[in-house]
Amino acid sequence: MYFHRHLEDSIRKYQQIFPIIAILGPRQCGKSTLVKQLFFPEENSIYLDLQNLEDLNKLNDPRLFFKSNAQKIICLDEIQLIPELFSVLRSVVDEDRQNGRFILLGSASRELVQQSSESLAGRIGYLSLTPFQIGELPTIDQQTCWNRGGFPDSVLAENDEFSMIWRDNFIKTYVERDLPQLGFQIPALQLRRFLIMCAHNQGQILNLSKLGSSMGLTHPTIRKYIDIFEQTFIVRSLSPFEINVKKRLVKSPKIYLRDSGLLHQLLGIKNMDALFSHPVFGSSWEGFVIEQILSVVDVPAYFYRTATGDEMDLVLDIHGKIIAIECKASAAPQVTKGFYNAIEVLKPVKTFVVAPIETEMYALQENIFVASLRETILEIQKMI
């Protein structure tokens, strides 16, 4: 069964603007399935998996192959494995500019994918695909999405046990095969241990020195590991919101495992009952909410915290208007004085307290609402 993705409309739009479309996202998030659904019922399409030796052999002379199939849409999957193709693509596009001709799929950031000195500026449009968002899974309840994360084979698994088996193998393959293919020669055991450390620090201020000392690694090495995990869409660091006030603001980023299912797997959380009693419960909900919102809303995003404890989990800057979001993993959320102090400084046009509830949104005060995650996303989308 195919679930429609929100990115479909953007892909069709980019197809009319750019000769090359790059769709980036973590491994196994559904990029290939999406592109095959959109383009490969058509006879004038060619799909090449650059991890497949037979497909790879077709590109022994890439220029000749591209010219021989000049009227076809060509999809190159796992493009980060052969960055030298970028120079050929630039030349071919400049000789015969046809919009929507090349679709590139990559499991690494824009910077890692285009490791070539050849610039494709003006020729390529970049889009990001995340694992499933709750709005893309109308038949799956929110708790299942939260517990298992959004990777298709995890969230759609027959049961929690099968989901855990898949996630365990995903992590193992990621550290043992995927990262070495990108040129990162770091012991897999050390990387997995660092991911577990990140999971234990979910939603916390990033302290490189503390992480380094706990693992016997230097400050620059920890920074390198964070960059690797960010560039491969596993970790998100959220920057602090800087505002010209006299308060002492926290200046280090907060760190999150982007997929809640991977977070739970790394911490050995088997199901929702185990999550409810785990210390990471509140931070897990916070990370889940933030990732779901930022997967849909592409705007500058921050958190706000002062040294005295005034705090807002997520601050969105939408065309100069501030939206404030606080995450509370309770059906009857209670907010603190620090929450209201943050509102006084940020002066948001709307504030949402996002809770795991099914009831309709209701107001705490003027422009301050308690809402479900789905309602919050819909309200924010109306403001863009």
16 token code pair: 């009319």
- The residue-averaged pLDDT of 294-321 equals 93
Three-class SS of residue 237? Answer: strand
Kind and range of the H or E run holding 162? helix 160-173
Q: What residue segments make up the domains of the chain, in order of their start?
A: 8-128, 134-382
278 token code pair: 């785990």
How would residue 196 be classed by pLDDT, with cut points 50, 70 and 90? very high
Options 3.40.50.1100, 3.30.1540.10, 3.40.605.10, 3.40.50.300; which CATH number does 8-128 get? 3.40.50.300
Say whether pLDDT at 113 is over 80. Answer: no
**pLDDT tens, position by position, 2-12:** 899 999 999 99
How would residue 248 be classed by pLDDT, with cut points 50, 70 and 90? low
Q: For residues 142 and 124, what is the distance between their CA atoms, to the nearest angstrom? A: 35
Share of the chain above pLDDT 90, in %: 78
Please indicate whether residue 279 or residue 86 has the higher confidence score (pLDDT). Answer: 279
Which residue shows structure tokens 């921050």? 302
Q: What is the pLDDT of residue 323?
A: 97
**Residue 94: other Cβ atoms inside 10 A:** 10
What's the sign of the alpha-carbon dihedral 286, 287, 290, 295?
negative
Burial (CB count within 10 angstroms: exposed 0-12, middle 13-18, buried 19+), residue 151:
buried
How would residue 215 be classed by pLDDT, with cut points 50, 70 and 90? confident
Q: What is the pLDDT of residue 122?
A: 87
Mean pLDDT check: name the lowest of 14-18, 132-136, 205-209, 246-250: 246-250
Nearest 5°: phi and psi at 39?
A: -120, -20
Global pTM? 0.94
Q: How far apart are the first and last CA of the chain?
A: 31
Q: For residues 62 and 114, what is the distance between their CA atoms, to the nearest angstrom? A: 17
Alpha carbons within 13 A on the beta-carbon side of 269: 26
Say whether pLDDT at 284 is over 80. Answer: yes
Nearest residue to 349 via CA among 373, 375, 322, 368: 322
Q: What is the pLDDT of residue 23?
A: 96
How would residue 355 be classed by pLDDT, with cut points 50, 70 and 90? very high
Kind and range of the H or E run holding 105? strand 102-106
Q: What is the pLDDT of residue 114?
A: 65
Say whether pLDDT at 244 is over 90. Answer: no
What's the sign of the alpha-carbon dihedral 214, 219, 225, 226?
positive
Q: What is the pLDDT of residue 65?
A: 95
How would residue 377 be classed by pLDDT, with cut points 50, 70 and 90? very high
Nearest residue to 37 via CA among 152, 122, 140, 125: 152
Q: For residues 6 and 193, what is the distance between their CA atoms, to the nearest angstrom? A: 34
How would residue 362 be classed by pLDDT, with cut points 50, 70 and 90? very high
Please indicate whether residue 70 or residue 287 has the higher confidence score (pLDDT). Answer: 287
Say whether pLDDT at 115 is over 90. Answer: no
Q: What is the pLDDT of residue 117?
A: 45
Kind and range of the H or E run holding 76? strand 73-77
Q: What is the pLDDT of residue 82?
A: 86
Q: For every residue of 318-353, which 3-state class applies, written as one string? A: ECCEEEEEEECCCCCCCCCHHHHHHHHHHCCCEEEE
- The residue-averaged pLDDT of 88-104 equals 93
- The residue-averaged pLDDT of 255-284 equals 97
**pLDDT tens, position by position, 35-69:** 999 887 667 899 999 999 999 999 999 999 999 99
- The residue-averaged pLDDT of 166-184 equals 94
Please indicate whether residue 81 or residue 263 has the higher confidence score (pLDDT). Answer: 263
